[in-house]
Amino acid sequence: MRPTIKCALIGPGNIGTDLLAKLQRSPVLEPVWMVGIDPASDGLKKARELGLKTTAEGVDGLLPHLQADGVQIVFDATSAYVHAENSRKVNALGALMIDLTPAAIGPYCVPPVNLLQHVGAPSPGRSQDGAAPLGGGTARSAKPGGLLSEMNVNMVTCGGQATIPMVAAVSRVQPVSYGEIVATVSSRSVGPGTRKNIDEFTRTTAGAVEKVGGAKKGKAIIIINPAEPPLMMRDTVHCLVEGEVNREGITESVHAMIREVQKYVPGYRLVNGPVFDGQRVSIFLEVEGLGDYLPKYAGNLDIMTAAAARTAEMFAQEILAGRLVLKATPTAALAA
């Protein structure tokens, strides 16, 4: 039997349940626990039907079993308000936390842009004109064969996962002085957790546009569309570039990045662009989900779960190969 890395999921809502479907297809990840707070949750029920162990006692119900069951990676699909506490408790027992909330207490991760940095791969250098490299950002990565120094990785937001690759595609060609993203999502695809975290969504996404996308200044806008039937996720990316616009280079870079994202999100499509207007570069996107658990129009949620699964798979491969060792983070949280 092929070795796998065991995983736990916190949050049996739409995102957690869709993520579970993706993890079950993974050749290197094995979901074994689902954690919630409502015993009657549909997500917990589905997880039990699929053979996972479950608890309705929150993260505290998982902790006594984490090491005994060999769980090394934990996904948090709850809320920014509770994530920090969840992460402290899990990290103290030596498990890596992959954060699907806008809490952003760990470094941002957008797989096609900077995932390799997180697992210790070398980062490409800057271009001669000073543009940000592919993989630019703030990841605190491990040295190959050594301890992982950062035990929490943040998946930004759905809008960030959809748009930051495009900002990075432009900034790796030439400097971007300003990057603005507009994410339009169906109201049906936005649950109560996301609605409570709208401010965190915009702050976290704007920060990642700068730190991962490479823009000197970033802005993020989310539009929740109540239209029926529900519309697919659509995203608009505007970049103001410095110097003479390298149209050919930017166009080639954007199309190459589209192909990278499509490796784990097949429904990620370029609708129009890049469109050039003076120093402004505009890119128009559409994201269709796989329909694992969520409707296909909920591409905003699908791209988050797909990115989280992709990130975890990369860490798992490094752990299984012996190139990465997880490090417990001592904390007083467990005694609280």
Query: How far apart (Å, rounded) are the C-alpha atoms in residues 253 and 249?
Result: 6
Is 190 labelled as part of a ligand binding site?
yes
Contact 12, 41 (CB under 8 A): yes
* Token pair 């120094």 in the structure block, residue: 149
Is 194 labelled as part of a ligand binding site?
yes
Burial of 145-176, coded b for 16+ CB within 10 Å and e otherwise, reads eeebebbbbbbbbbbbbbbbbbbbbbbbbbbb
The H or E element that residue 308 is part of is helix 299-320
Active site residue 7: no
Query: How far apart (Å, rounded) are the C-alpha atoms in residues 323 and 148?
Result: 10
Is 191 labelled as part of a ligand binding site?
yes
- Nearest CA to 96 out of 259, 252, 328 is that of 328
Residue tagged active-site, from 7, 109, 158, 239 = 158
Strands 146-147 and 176-186, how do they pair? unpaired
Is 193 labelled as part of a ligand binding site?
yes
Contact 131, 281 (CB under 8 A): no
Is 204 labelled as part of a ligand binding site?
no
Is 247 labelled as part of a ligand binding site?
no
Query: How far apart (Å, rounded) are the C-alpha atoms in residues 182 and 202?
Result: 10
**Bridge partners for 133 per DSSP:** none
CA R_g for the chain: 19
Peptide bond into 229 cis (omega under 30): yes
> DSSP states of 236-299 as a string?
EEEEEEPSS--HHHHHHHHHHHHHHHHTT-TTEEEEEEEEEETTEEEEEEEE----SSS-TT-H
Structure tokens at 83: 């994530």
Is 110 labelled as part of a ligand binding site?
no
Residues annotated catalytic, as ranges: 158
User: Residues annotated as binding site for NAD(+)?
Assistant: 189-197, 300
Per the annotation, binding residues are 189-197, 300
